[in-house]
Amino acid sequence: MANLQDVLDSTLPGLGYELVDLELAHNGLVRLFIDKPGGITVDDCVTVSNHLSRLLMVENIPYERLEVSSPGLDRALKKPEDFVRYAGQKVKVRLRMPLPDKRKRFVGTLVGFEDDAVVVEVDGEQLKLPQAQIDKVRLEPQF
C-alpha cells in the first residue's frame, strides 16, 4: 500500500497544483487544501477530487470521504518556501508550548525563514520561532 503523502506529492504538481495542507480525521475523512498561481476555482477542486478518487482506489489507500478545497484567505503556511513567499504579510502564529514569557500566540508581520526558524516582527521586535515549536501559522486576512 502506498503512502498518501507520497502519492499526493508525486501527483498534484503534475496536475499543476500545490498541496498546501493535508488533514486526516479519525472518521476516514481526507481533506486537502490545494493552490495554483491565479487561485483555485470550484472546477479545480472537482478535477483534483475526481482524479484522486480513482488514484487512491488504484493505490489501495483507504478513506471514507475526500474533500478538496482552496487554502482560503487565512492560508496555512508550513514549508520554508511559504515563509519566504509570504514575507511582508500579516500572520497569526500559535506555538506548541509557551515561550518563557508565557506567550504562545502571536500576530505580526512575517519577515521570513532562517536557521529552521520562522522570523516574525511583533510590536517592533523580531522573534525567531523555531519551526519545530510551531503548531500553526496562518495568514491574517487584510480587508
Domain boundary among 44, 69, 94: 69
Q: What is the pLDDT of residue 2?
A: 63
Same domain, 60 and 8: yes
Q: Provide the 3-class DSSP secondary structure of residue 82.
A: helix
Same domain, 60 and 9: yes
- Residues spanned by the domain of 33: 4-69
- Report the DSSP beta bridge partners of residue 33: 21, 69
Same domain, 122 and 94: yes
Q: What is the pLDDT of residue 1?
A: 46
Same domain, 128 and 84: yes
Q: What is the pLDDT of residue 103?
A: 87
* Sign of the CA dihedral with 8 first, then 49, 93, and 86 last: positive
Q: Classify residue 74: in a domain, yes or no.
A: no
d(Cα 81, Cα 118) in Å, to the nearest integer? Answer: 11
Q: What is the pLDDT of residue 101?
A: 80
Amino acid identity, position 129: L
Q: Provide the 3-class DSSP secondary structure of residue 88.
A: coil
Same domain, 95 and 130: yes
d(Cα 119, Cα 130) in Å, to the nearest integer? Answer: 9
The tens-digit pLDDT sequence of the chain (143 residues) is 468 999 999 999 999 999 999 999 888 899 999 999 999 999 999 999 999 999 999 999 889 999 999 999 999 999 999 999 999 999 999 999 988 888 899 999 999 999 999 999 999 999 999 999 999 999 998 88
What's the structural domain count of the chain?
A: 2
| Alpha helices, DSSP H, located in the chain | 4-15, 42-58, 80-85
Same domain, 65 and 118: no
d(Cα 22, Cα 34) in Å, to the nearest integer? Answer: 9
Same domain, 58 and 104: no
